[in-house]
Structure 1
């Protein structure tokens, strides 16, 4: 009996550490995208061009791995917000979006799979890719 409880506790600990740990998985990403200076500050942090808050740093720590692994360690709220963030960045700050892609996938190997995965978490009918 004690062994079963131990195994259950270890299983819970492993499962909870499987997903990326961020400061706030429920941030109002629509508000971030709508406020251009805030969106720019997120982009600057992620591109290491500006100051990171504890919140943006908690996201930045996971970006490289999430790009390579197509967000397979992202939980549902993280996938939803990541999808909206990239779409908003692409639409509102296209140069920063391209810089983001270049920084985290300089050889163009992983980003397509990441965006394909994240597209599943956008409202139906929302195009993921924009044409410039």
Structure 2
């Protein structure tokens, strides 16, 4: 019995450590409310401009996030991702188009992303 409890504790610890912990530091309302900042961040993500440390971390994780459909994301990160994508798609379609073309040129994540946004 003790072995089972120890194994469950180890599994819980591994799962807790398997989440992205550094992606919660971006103030989403500040980014979405400031076109200059949004353009700057998008340039970083597109390799067309400098990156802040927070956006650099996001940029490093973004391919994995897309590939795993945000499997390691916390609930807060999922909510932030949904809000960010929806806002950019509706208010800045040119930025969305550039980001989509850059990170998903074949469109292989498009269907999964739409499902993610609906959930």
TM-score in same-fold range (> 0.5): yes
Equivalence for 2:56: 57
4+ residue segments displaced more than 6 Å: none
Equivalence for 1:92: 91
Aligned positions, number: 119
Contact 2:28/2:80, CA 8 A, preserved across alignment: yes
Equivalence for 2:71: 72
Equivalence for 1:115: 114
The runs of 5 or more residues in structure 2 that have no matched partner are none
Equivalence for 1:11: 11
Contact 1:89/1:97, CA 8 A, preserved across alignment: yes
Partner secondary structure for residue 107 of structure 2 = coil
Contact 2:25/2:54, CA 8 A, preserved across alignment: no
CA deviations over 1:94-125 (Å, ceiling 9, x no partner): 122111111111111112212321332xxxxx
* Structure number having the greater helix percentage: 2
Contact 1:29/1:81, CA 8 A, preserved across alignment: yes
Partner secondary structure for residue 70 of structure 1 = coil
CA distance in 1, matches of 2:41, 2:84: 10
Contact 1:26/1:77, CA 8 A, preserved across alignment: no
Contact 1:29/1:85, CA 8 A, preserved across alignment: yes
Equivalence for 2:31: 32
CA distance in 2, matches of 1:108, 1:83: 18
Equivalence for 1:102: 101
Contact 1:69/1:114, CA 8 A, preserved across alignment: no
